[in-house]
Amino acid sequence: MLLLGLETSCDETAAAVVEEVNDPVRPWRIRSSIVASQVAIHREWGGVVPELASRQHLRDICGVVERAVEEAGTSLAALDALAVTQGPGLVGSLLVGVSFAKSLALALGRPLVAVHHLAGHIESLFLEHGSLPLPAVVLVVSGGHTSLFHVPEAGVYRTIGRTRDDAAGEAYDKVAKLLGLGYPGGPIIDTLAKDGNDRAVDFPVSRMTHRDRVAPDRTVRFEFSFSGLKTSVLRYVRGQRIDGASDAARGARGEPVPQPRTLSAQEVRDIAASFQRVVVETLLDRTFGAARWVGAKSVGIAGGVSANSRLRRDAVIRGQEAGLPVFVPSLHLSTDNAAMIAAAGLRRFHEGGRAGWSLNAEASLAI
């Protein structure tokens, strides 16, 4: 069985063909996976501009699909089904993919499957590694999402925690912008942190109260918060420079005004390393705490931030200490892609999931 997956939830236009093979351990094989990134377009704005993203999807989607089908060595007529990201994401971007998928499925007379974007990230682990020891706890961490899932069996995703404010990837982007490092912030900070002292700055770790952690049904939740950390970085950086208001006050009192200065390259590396240490510790503390709570047999980490080198390294160490195998996708499957959407689509297809022609994009789709 061949399935074409489409992903346009944010700023990547992606298409992939995934084949179902007769292997119960590794049932899916990627025939092609094409991603057209818009990073260069959005870099000058310091983040994704929704209107520009949706317009670029319109320009790219036909060519991306054609290339995916060609590299898979097949044809549109040979496809058995299609899958598309319905949400969550930027509604204008989602609409491009949903509208294209509905039109193509109708023209080909093929079934269409609607996929949740985060389900795609979870299934990227199964696509990469085959069957995982279940139950599992999976952390999905990216620029727009930081969520923990209990996966008791294949295809079942139960949310047991999420961020209360900024996603981890969003915090990376904001701190990078604060330090004048450019966009996207995650890879830049990860690179600089390798040559920094991660104990140079004692940034705080968010602590959740009992009320924050226990849901109304008495289940324990493993929540995240990164806005306080972001604010701490801001205050620290301002404290290392000369604040304009303080300068004015000194001048009014007739006191000498120190000359403003910029952070040295080593100071920036130290800030990046210290910030990254707190983010990774927070993510892994919650993830392995959840794994102990549910009695997980494995831990998975997916999403764009799963490409972070320290997160990958420290997760393996934590896993060895806890006696739990840790699974992460390859770098290509970490960031947004359509192969993971195709894999999730195949899962849903066999569960009887079919989308009608009234299918619409949902920016805040619940899983």
For 188-233, how does the pLDDT look when each residue is reduced to its tens digit (9 = 90+)? 999 999 999 999 999 988 876 544 455 544 455 789 999 999 999 9
pLDDT at 252: 60
pLDDT tens for residues 66-83? 999 999 999 999 999 999
Please say if the pLDDT value at position 250 is more than 90.
Answer: no
pLDDT tens for residues 339-355? 999 999 999 999 999 99
Site of tokens 């619940």: 366
Considering only CA atoms, which of 281, 364, 344 is closest in space to residue 151? 344
Higher pLDDT, 336 or 263: 336
Site of tokens 């005004």: 257
Please say if the pLDDT value at position 111 is more than 60.
Answer: yes
Note if the pTM is more than 0.75. Answer: yes
Considering only CA atoms, which of 64, 104, 69, 59 is closest in space to residue 83? 104
pLDDT at 240: 79
Residues 6+ apart with CB under 8 A from 136: 150, 151, 296, 297, 298, 299, 300
pLDDT at 221: 72
The domains located in the chain, with CATH, are: 2-121+335-350 (3.30.420.40), 134-324 (3.30.420.40)
- Pull the structure tokens for residue 46: 């310091």
pLDDT at 209: 56
For residue 162, the cross-strand partners are 147
DSSP letter at 220 equals: B
pLDDT tens for residues 27-60? 999 999 999 999 999 998 889 999 999 999 999 9
pLDDT at 245: 45
pLDDT band at 253 (very low <50, low <70, confident <90, very high): low
Contact predicate 279/171, CB 8 Å? yes
**Percent of the chain residues past pLDDT 70, beyond the cut:** 91
Q: Which amino acid, one-letter code, is at 128? A: E
